[in-house]
């Protein structure tokens, strides 16, 4: 158990941030799956919002920058091929 007030606060903050990160990451993964299974018109509508979500995750270090770049590249190719 933590001995300092600041350590207790750090534990609370870490839990809050962990839950927020999990929610954002899962929401983005679901959006990517939805985009991959969509028809061309719907995929083109979803594409900008999904790319934005990926960029936000990378900016906050929830996912690595290179992973974000790879995801964006693959999604771009997928939408273009539809």
Write the pLDDT tens digit of every residue in 3-55: 899 999 999 999 999 999 999 999 999 999 999 999 999 999 999 999 999 99
Task: Indicate the number of domains in the chain.
Answer: 1
Residue 2 lies in a domain: no
* Domain that residue 54 falls in: 32-81
Contact 79, 43 (CB under 8 A): yes
Instruction: Report yes or no on 9 lying in a domain.
Output: no
- Is residue 1 over pLDDT 80? no
Give the containing element (helix H, strand E) for 52: helix 40-59
Whether residue 5 lies inside any domain: the answer is no
Residue 24 falls within a domain, yes or no? no
Instruction: Supply φ then ψ for residue 23, to 5 degrees.
Output: -60, -50
Rounded to two decimals, what is the model's pTM?
0.85
The reply to whether 17 falls in a domain is no
Q: Does 71 fall in a domain?
A: yes
Query: Is there a domain that residue 69 lies in?
Result: yes
CA angle centred on 72, ends 16 and 46, rounded to 5°: 80
Q: Report CA-CA distances (Å) from 67 to 7, 16, 45, 70.
A: 32, 24, 23, 5
Helices 40-59 & 5-37, crossing angle to 10 degrees? 160
Residue 44, in any domain of the structure: yes
Does residue 2 have a pLDDT over 90? no
């Amino acid at each position: 158990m933590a001995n300092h007030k600041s350590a207790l606060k750090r534990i609370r903050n870490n839990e809050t941030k962990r839950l927020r990160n999990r929610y954002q990451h899962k929401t983005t993964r679901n959006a990517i799956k939805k985009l991959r299974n969509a028809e061309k018109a719907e995929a083109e509508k979803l594409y900008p919002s999904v790319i934005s979500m990926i960029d936000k995750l990378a900016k906050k270090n929830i996912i690595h920058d290179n992973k974000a770049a790879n995801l964006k590249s693959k999604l771009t190719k997928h939408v273009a091929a539809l």
